[in-house]
Chains A and B, each alone.
Chain A
């Protein structure tokens, strides 16, 4: 069975601080995909990044960066110089490449981390 754990339920920072959201996952499959989604107060899910299990390169996109480490089954997300607009719930999710068996090709989500950035 797949599992995603986001140990931080809530994080509160002051604007311009850096913040890291942790994500640890469990799967026995060797081919899988990891995702981060942002859910702003308006409620929609905004796709941020997808990473496949064969690509451990870290990625940077503007103020966002992701650190994927298979050795520790972690896919952490860092926001540099946080802004008030970053306030949202962030979800880490795991998707298996195969749709068969019990995975159904579904996404398994973590519980989410509520990030609040104060001005």
Chain B
């Protein structure tokens, strides 16, 4: 099925541990985004990418790094996890074409940092 796949779906980390969240899309979309969702705050943009090999910071980038070595994959890394990074993470992609302006979201990754 075409869409955005996030792995893993759930993860528990200890403070200071590192991990990488993987987002993969098979729709040949140019733009990809990582959001975090926290209660009462909606979704906030962490990092985004407008094409292979390019990434940029969003609203809440501190503590995260990203890479987009292949067009279909967008990785979100936590080098040293903190309890404040406990959240639900969503990846999204969209085409550059305005005619098909729409976002496809992954099913989310629930991360708990203890």
Binding site for B on A (CB under 8 A): 4, 9, 33, 35, 43-45, 47, 50, 52, 91, 93, 95, 97, 99, 104-107, 109-112
> Taking chain B's interface residues, is the majority helix, strand, or loop, or is none over half, making it mixed?
strand
Q: How many residue pairs between the two chains, A and B, have CB atoms under 8 Å in the bound complex?
A: 59
In the complex, the chain A residue whose C-beta lies closest to that of B105 is A45
B110 near A99 (CB under 8 angstroms)?
no
Binding site for A on B (CB under 8 A): 31, 33, 35, 40-45, 48, 50, 56, 58, 88, 90, 92, 94, 96, 98, 101-103, 105, 107-108, 110
Residues in A with CB closer than 8 Å to B45 are: 104, 106-107
A97 to B31: give the CA distance in the assembly, Å: 13
A111 near B88 (CB under 8 angstroms)?
no
CB within 8 Å for A97 and B42 given contacts A44-B105, A45-B90: no
